[in-house]
Amino acid sequence: MNRAWTLALLTLIATLQFFDRALIVVVMEPIKQEFGLSDSQLGVLSGLSYACAFALAGIPLGWLADRSRRRSLLALLLLAWSLLLGFSATAASFAALVASRIGIGAMDAGGQPCSVSMIADLYPRHQRSSAVAVFYAGVPLGMLLGFMVGGFIAGAWGWRAGFFAAAIPGALLAAALLWVREPVRGATEPGGASADQAVPSLSQALRFMLGQRSLLLIVAASVLVTASSSAMMSWIGALLLRTHGLSLPEVGVMMALCMGGVGAIGTVAAGMVADRLGARDMRWQPWLMAAGALLIAVLGSLVCMLESVAAVAVALGLFAACVAGLNGPTYALSQSLVPVRMRASSMSTLVVLLNLIGVGVGPTLAGVLSDVFAGAFGADSVRWAMVCVLALNLPAVALFARAAHSIRDDLVRAG
């Protein structure tokens, strides 16, 4: 019961933090109007300030999580995150908002390394993908609530109220973490508890990870998948507006239901399937991920090319389910393929790479290609740009499949 309570609490925290990521997108226009900002300044506020701080803080916080009580560290980070959200809600200038987003990004960077390494010590390898998938269901759920509930709150009481709506529950969840028992490191491993295992330096941890061939292949494939899915997330609104003539509210509802609702179902379902197949042979997990990457390329292309809005909605929902479905096995393997005392460092390294390269490159590449194709395709340029970016999933299929060749030996080496 204690581990179920802990998993539920960690999932609520993830949901709340991704609520904030969606909310900042929703309230950009009223912030722009209040402070008289340019689109470039909005880009710095919503993307660059957060992403740079997240990337810089991620690996050091993962290193710290491997050496401290993760429950206490997470509670401290969440409390600071909540206070910074409250500061955002009272900001009187653009500079103050940017400063708060920098702090929020830095505090957010430690959430996933702390949470996922705790989950790995609560659930054994044959249940780990399902448990991690439940945690990552908080991502689409948070996006859904951010787009719909956050948008409603901001529309009814102003954009500042939206930040308060996240800050107050954040402080309460930080207090609730005090009732969580710190998991014993390595307690779910076949050899028993490993709390007394020597703590490696950051350079030692990175060297070990570089020697795990299957882990490197999975990380490389995941970066490619993240680049394509981030491009779809960033540009699907423009596609629906330009090509299908939907209104902004219609786009918001479709994205919330497909990316949020169906995405959450796909996350949990794929995690359960990965555990069931992995119990027979762990090679099935990277094979399953290869199939998911192929489906993402096909379904994403259908979203771009179909003419019927209803058909696009179905394809978008299935696309979101496949993208979210990779979270469980990907992050679970990032824990299983390294020793107990490297788990948070492994997780933070993966998350930083996905955000810096995947999230950073994918949407930008799609925008550049759309400009290149504009002369030939006009308003349909974004369609063809996204199809090209979705092709990044094809080498990802090969990389995931290749990881299956060495995963069993690497799991033994990780202990």
Backbone angles phi, psi at 405, to 5 degrees: -70, -30
Give the pLDDT confidence score for residue 143 in this predicted structure.
Answer: 82
Give the pLDDT confidence score for residue 80 in this predicted structure.
Answer: 96
In terms of CATH architecture, what is 201-415?
Up-down Bundle (1.20)
Both tokens assigned to 194: 């490993």
Tens digits of residue pLDDT in 285-310: 999 999 999 999 999 999 988 989 99
Give the pLDDT confidence score for residue 297 in this predicted structure.
Answer: 96
Give the pLDDT confidence score for residue 292 in this predicted structure.
Answer: 95
Distance CA 386, CA 323 (A): 15
Q: Which residues neighbour 386 within 8 Å (Cβ) at sequence distance 6 or greater?
A: 231, 232, 235, 239, 300, 304, 366
Give the pLDDT confidence score for residue 194 in this predicted structure.
Answer: 52
Contact 316, 254 (CB under 8 A): yes
The span from the first CA to the last CA of the chain, in angstroms, equals 27
CA torsion sign, 190 to 195 to 196 to 198? positive
Tens digits of residue pLDDT in 233-278: 777 777 777 778 777 677 777 877 887 788 888 888 988 998 899 8
The distance from CA 100 to its chain's CA centroid, rounded to whole angstroms, is: 21
The distance from CA 65 to its chain's CA centroid, rounded to whole angstroms, is: 19
Pick out the chain residues at pLDDT < 70: 1, 39-40, 42-43, 46-48, 190-198, 248, 360
CA torsion sign, 44 to 249 to 263 to 318? negative
DSSP type of residue 93: S
Q: Which CATH class is domain 1-180?
A: mainly alpha
Contact 348, 113 (CB under 8 A): yes
Cite the residue boundaries of each domain of the chain with CATH code 1.20.1250.20.
Answer: 1-180, 201-415
